[in-house]
Amino acid sequence: MAKPIDQQQNFFKGIVKENPVFVMLLGMCPALGVTSSAFNGLGMGVATLFVLLMSNIVVSLVKSQIPNKVRIPAFIIIIASFVTIVEMVLEAYIPFLYEQLGIFIPLIVVNCLILGRAEAFASKNTLKSSVLDALGMGLGFVIALTVLGAVREVLGNGSIFDWKFVSEDANTLILFILPPGAFIALAYLAILFNRLTLKTA
Amino acid sequence: MVRNESTLLNMVLALIVITVVAGFSLGYVNDITLEPKAKAKLAKKMTALERVLPDFDNRPVSEILLVKVEGAKDSVEIYPAFKEGAFVGAAVVGASEKGYSGLVKIMVGFEPDGTVHNIVVLEQKETPGLGTKMKGEKFLRQFRDRHPANFELKVTKDGGEVDALTGATISTRAFTEAAQMAYEEFVKNKELITTTDR
């Protein structure tokens, strides 16, 4: 290893400077697809965080055993196994969330955020750095998805975390619940996020 | 850090080890979640039954009647309910493939004369915030205590009496189709389910 990594910075970079959703624009499929409510965004974020953490741990542990030419298929098998475990556990213990997230759980496998961290970080760094990297990146993803989901739920459904603050018959901006609203909300949040972090950087 | 060299043997070995470990751990997790999964499914069915049926004291789940229906993939499930030996109603699972994103599955509870007692949505993949409102009280309310014989289960646009969900007419159509199917099966099989011993 060339130089020791500043672990604190390693952890926080995933939340602010290299936020997977707002800065690196990774994992857009679940970020746009499941964030129609704050709770869905949070659930998806936590599921992804778990898979990211576990795959980073395993990849950093076995990195020296895996021949370079087959590293991508090896990583994918590791990731896919954890995703399947998450899917089975959710179905057994949190069936409500399992139904809400539907097809997006198996699709965590192809979330480029996870393979990206395995390939770009965990396969080159120590266990400790990889864990902190996964936690930072995962939390950044959780926060981004929850915020995006909350904004869309507030504007599109007049509620937050299923708590309704407008009357049942009120007209809300349904657009924000629909797919186009996801793009619009994401774009404005990304602008806002980058604007705010630019000053501190 | 010396990487394992990419010789054929190394590559094959690495992949074999990874897939075997992955396979065994998946099998293990599948084993331990098998029971909770079945339990979760049953619990869901039981809560649905309790919500759609009038008070009952038998076990509708074990007295289920499966009916083959032409054109439908799965057979229709009918759960008869009894209280102190008297028939108090039945829950019928109706389904439609014509939802905005495929299958819509609902459970309709009928009173002995065919009046709708309550409806619960079992499965749907409709648009969140639009079609998913079919699970809402505001939508389901209009069906309660109505008799499908004089409350036509069709969207008002199609000449029926069901108020469609805003922006989700297709989802509502699928819902009414499923409800209609449940009603037809209830009427057809009424003789069969009202007797306690089959």
Interchain CB contact of B4 with A (< 8 Å): yes
Confidence at A1, pLDDT banded by 50, 70, 90: very low
For A63-118, write each residue's pLDDT tens digit: 888 888 888 899 999 999 999 999 999 888 888 888 778 778 888 888 888 888 88
User: What pLDDT is stored for residue A78 in this prediction?
Assistant: 92
Q: Domains of chain A: which residue ranges?
A: 25-200
Confidence at B197, pLDDT banded by 50, 70, 90: low
B23 has a pLDDT exceeding 90: yes
Tokens of B26: 């998946």
Residue B172 contacts residue B134 (beta carbons within 8 Å): yes
Supply the mean pLDDT for chain A.
Answer: 85
User: Using CB atoms and an 8 Å cut-off, which of residues 116-155 of chain B contact chain A?
Assistant: 123, 125, 127-130, 138
Q: ipTM for the complex? A: 0.75
What is the CB neighbour count within 10 angstroms for residue A22? 23
In Å, how far is A118's CA from the nearest CA of chain B?
15
How many residues does this entry show for chain A? 201
Verify whether the Cβ–Cβ distance A157 to B129 is below 8 Å: yes
User: What pLDDT is stored for residue B1 in this prediction?
Assistant: 42
The residues with which B21 forms a beta bridge, in sequence order, are: none
Interchain CB contact of B167 with A (< 8 Å): yes
Task: Give CA–CA dist B178/B151, Å, rounded.
Answer: 15
User: What pLDDT is stored for residue A51 in this prediction?
Assistant: 92
% pLDDT > 90, chain A? 27
Q: What is the mean pLDDT of residues B67-74?
A: 70
Supply the mean pLDDT for chain B.
Answer: 84
The alpha carbons of chain A give a radius of gyration, in whole angstroms, of 18
Tell me the HSE value of B105 on the side-chain side, using a 13 A CA sphere.
Answer: 12
Interchain CB contact of A165 with B (< 8 Å): no
Task: Give CA–CA dist B80/B90, Å, rounded.
Answer: 4
pTM of the model: 0.78
Verify whether the Cβ–Cβ distance A92 to B130 is below 8 Å: no
* Closest-CA residue to B119 (of B69, B183, B55): B183
Interchain CB contact of A70 with B (< 8 Å): yes
